[in-house]
C-alpha cells in the first residue's frame, strides 16, 4: 500500500489563501463563483506539453458568459500551479500568499467573463 503523500506547507498556505479570498468576496461574486472548481496542482508533475512551464494559473471550461457546460471538459475550473507560484515568489511565503490571491482573482475574472485587458484594468494582471 502506498504511503499517503505529504501535503506541502505551500499547498496548505494556498488552501488557506483561497478560503480567505473567497470568503471576503462580495456575496454576489462569491455566489457566482460557486460552480467553478479550484484545483491546486504542480506543473512539475503535469504531463501536458502544451502548457507554458512557467504558468501560475489557468482557467479552463465554460465561463459564466458561455452558458451551461455541455460536456465534462466544459466544466469550469481554475488550476493554480503551486510549484510555479512558489518559484515566482522566490520562496518567500508572504509574496507567495499574495500571488496565490492575485492569480486566483485573475483566473476568477476569466470565469466571470472578463478578458485579459479587463482583468488587467482591475489590477489583477
pLDDT tens, position by position, 77-97: 999 999 999 999 999 999 999
How far is it, in rounded angstroms, from Cα 61 to Cα 111?
Answer: 8
pLDDT single digits (tens) 52-65: 889 999 999 999 88
The dihedral sign for the CA sequence 79, 84, 89, 91: positive
Band of the pLDDT at 3, cuts 50, 70, 90?
Answer: very low
3-state secondary structure of 58: strand
pTM of the entire predicted model: 0.88
Cβ atoms of 100 and 78 within 8 Å: the answer is no
How far is it, in rounded angstroms, from Cα 33 to Cα 22?
Answer: 9
Name the architecture of domain 9-43+55-121: 2-Layer Sandwich (3.30)
Amino acid at each position: 500500500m502506498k504511503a499517503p503523500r505529504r501535503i506541502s506547507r505551500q499547498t496548505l498556505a494556498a488552501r488557506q489563501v483561497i478560503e480567505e479570498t473567497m470568503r471576503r468576496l462580495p456575496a454576489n461574486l462569491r455566489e457566482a463563483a460557486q460552480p467553478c472548481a479550484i484545483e491546486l496542482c504542480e506543473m512539475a508533475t503535469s504531463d501536458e506539453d502544451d502548457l507554458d512551464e512557467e504558468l501560475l494559473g489557468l482557467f479552463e471550461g465554460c465561463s459564466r458568459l458561455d452558458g451551461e457546460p455541455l460536456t465534462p471538459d466544459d466544466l469550469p475550473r481554475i488550476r493554480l500551479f503551486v510549484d510555479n507560484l512558489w518559484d515566482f515568489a522566490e520562496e518567500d511565503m508572504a509574496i507567495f500568499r499574495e500571488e496565490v490571491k492575485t492569480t486566483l482573482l485573475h483566473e476568477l475574472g476569466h470565469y466571470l467573463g472578463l478578458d485579459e485587458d479587463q482583468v488587467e484594468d482591475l489590477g489583477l494582471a
